[in-house]
Amino acid sequence: MDVRLRIQRFNPEQDDGPHFEDYTIDAEPMDRLLDCLHKVKAYEDSSLAVRRSCGHGICGSDAVLINGVNALACKVLVKDVKQPITIEPIRGLPLIKDLVVDMDPFFQGYLEVKPWLIVDPVAKEPERERLQSQEERERFDDTTKCILCAACTTSCPIFWSDGGYVGPAAIVNAHRFIFDSRDEGARERLEILSSKNGAFKCRTAFNCTAACPRGIQVTKAIQEVKQAALFGSF
């Protein structure tokens, strides 16, 4: 079948601003949008810049806007999208070229919440691994699924207007450790997330939950972090 693509292009060395270019390629209904982008790059225009890695919905590197909706190009099938298919870079991050954005501001927000296990630095190391029950593990299971694709954060209208906001993905990854029974850094993270650029900037639009390709209940996690910050319930 013929597939019509409308791809945003931008070369900072040549263009004054982004513009759209149209392509028609041959594809199967079960082909993924990432396959289509590969065909454009291989057979139509080798200058097309698109970020990808695993191609199987795990690395999260190929997040783009598909017909105005944040998604991973490797998870969207041709048959499920209305043509012409408009493909744009995710919003809210500096545009580098075509579909590639600068992820540094996104990862800066992620690192601000200290997304790693924090333990007492002077305490003696345990003689065996730190154990937890199935119930304790289940408490934060949902937020362990994040692949840092930035789809949730770049779907957030607060993030679009305020680059200082740490964003949904950062809060999700803070949640993963705040409610981990082995971690001792919850109060430190909640203090960070109670600042002006933290969780309380969320306006509960649910864009982030709708955008997550892993099905994480992002808005719910943000509300649980807010509750923990207010009541110390973790």
Secondary structure (DSSP) of 147-192: ----TTGGG-HHHHH-TTS--HHHHHHHHHHHT-TT---HHHHHHH
CATH 1.10.1060.10 residue ranges of the chain are 104-231
For residue range 132-187, what is the model confidence (pLDDT) as tens digits? 999 999 999 999 999 999 999 999 999 999 989 999 999 999 999 999 999 999 99
Q: How confident is the model at residue 190 (pLDDT cuts 50, 70, 90)?
A: very high
Whether the pLDDT of residue 115 is over 80: the answer is: yes
CATH 3.10.20.30 residue ranges of the chain are 2-101
Whether the pLDDT of residue 189 is over 90: the answer is: yes
For residue range 59-96, what is the model confidence (pLDDT) as tens digits? 999 999 999 999 999 999 999 999 999 999 999 999 99
Whether the pLDDT of residue 233 is over 80: the answer is: no
Residue 234 confidence (pLDDT): 75
What is the CATH T-level fold of the domain 2-101, as seen in this structure? Ubiquitin-like (UB roll) (3.10.20)
For residue range 9-36, what is the model confidence (pLDDT) as tens digits? 999 999 999 999 999 999 999 999 999 9
**Dist CA 198 CA 102 (whole Å):** 21
DSSP state of 77: B
- By DSSP bridging, strand 95-97 and strand 19-26 are unpaired
Q: Note the pTM of the prediction, 2 decimals.
A: 0.93
**Dist CA 227 CA 139 (whole Å):** 15
Residue 122 confidence (pLDDT): 86
Amino acid identity for residue 110 in this structure: Y
The CATH class that applies to domain 104-231 reads mainly alpha
